[in-house]
Amino acid sequence: MKWVSEQYFRGVGLSLALASSLLLVRPVCAAATLDNPVTLENGYRQMYNLDFQSAHRTFETWKQLHPEDPLGPVSNAAAYLFAEFDRLHVLESELFVNNEKFEKRQRLMPDPAIRRVFESELQRSEQMANQVLSRSPQAVNAQFAKMLANGLRGDYLALIDKRNLAALNFMKGSRSLAEQLLAQDPSFYDAYLAIGAENYLLGSSSAPVRWFLRLGGAQTNKQDGIAKLRLTAEKGRYLAPFARLLLAVAALRDQNREQARTLLAGLAQEFPGNPLYKKELARLQP
């Protein structure tokens, strides 16, 4: 199984959950304004725009206003993780498109303070989600929070710690939770990302690797993965920009430079504070 996970992560380096420098931020309660509403959607947009400090303020305020909502702390954890990705230059497309570079990448040196608060927020979210689900087993927001927590842990393990097998287990857990959620609410489009990511990533592996992965319960349908990612990219509430970034990298891996250029141009226009998209667009110039 170790060989399988190494082969898989050699061929594909993308992961969920969701792309993006910041040291540990002291939580500050932000006042809501018309230009800066305290909503989870706004916090995610700030995060995608690499305005991590504002994203943390938004999520911290959301947590205070909605103390029983597990999406508050798990979203804040996402902002810490994306900030580490940005600081460590994890999400450079050249790394993911070039298999040799990904295989030979070095283990990164994460900020231990960020790691502690990241894990603390995930644990808090999971505890809150379990409490909600004990009262209301059909609560989709609580299920989504647990799905996100699994995906974020998997991302950290794979892209920072290089613990590929452990990351694979969290990916499968996230996908399973997404399937349960979508069985109740097929219109919860953000949840399709977890299914799409697993199918695309594992489906991009060689045939023998896909066979071993399916034995372990993984899903490996590459085309279905792309279709699910498109659902999130087109209709997702929180994760649509991240799904579009994954689709752009998938297009680059498939040598579809025009599709990648279109996706990245849209992201660059929507999030002008994020230089990653402009940098990737420059690489695609003829």
- The string of pLDDT tens digits covering residues 21-38 is 222 333 333 344 445 678
Q: Is the pLDDT of residue 53 over 90?
A: yes
For residue 109, the tally of other CB atoms under 10 A from its CB is 8
Q: Please tell me the predicted confidence (pLDDT) of residue 19.
A: 32
Spatial CB neighbours of 102, under 8 Å, sequence gap ≥ 6: 9, 10, 13, 95, 96
In angstroms, rounded to a whole number, what is the distance separating the alpha carbons of residues 37 and 56?
A: 13
Q: pLDDT digits over 86-103, tens only? A: 888 876 654 445 555 555
Higher pLDDT pick, 13 / 276 = 276
Higher pLDDT pick, 177 / 207 = 177
Q: Please tell me the predicted confidence (pLDDT) of residue 92.
A: 63
Residues 2-283: name the CATH superfamily: Tetratricopeptide repeat domain (1.25.40.10)
Which residue bears the tokens 């790691």?
115
Confidence grade of residue 159 (pLDDT, cut at 50, 70, 90): confident
φ/ψ bin of 217: left (φ > 0), alpha (ψ from -120 to 50), beta (otherwise): left
pTM of the model: 0.81
Q: Please tell me the predicted confidence (pLDDT) of residue 279.
A: 85
Q: Structural domain boundaries of the chain?
A: 2-283
Q: Please tell me the predicted confidence (pLDDT) of residue 182.
A: 95
Question: What angle is formed at CA 253 by the lines to CA 247 and CA 255, rounded to 5 degrees?
Answer: 105
Confidence grade of residue 17 (pLDDT, cut at 50, 70, 90): very low
Higher pLDDT pick, 195 / 220 = 195
Which residue bears the tokens 């994460």?
110
| CA quadruple 225, 201, 179, 264: dihedral, nearest 10 | -60
Q: Please tell me the predicted confidence (pLDDT) of residue 185.
A: 96
Percent of the chain scored above 70 by pLDDT?
73
Q: Is the pLDDT of residue 160 over 80?
A: yes
Structure tokens at 174: 């996230």
Burial level of 259, CB count in 10 A (0-12/13-18/19+)? middle
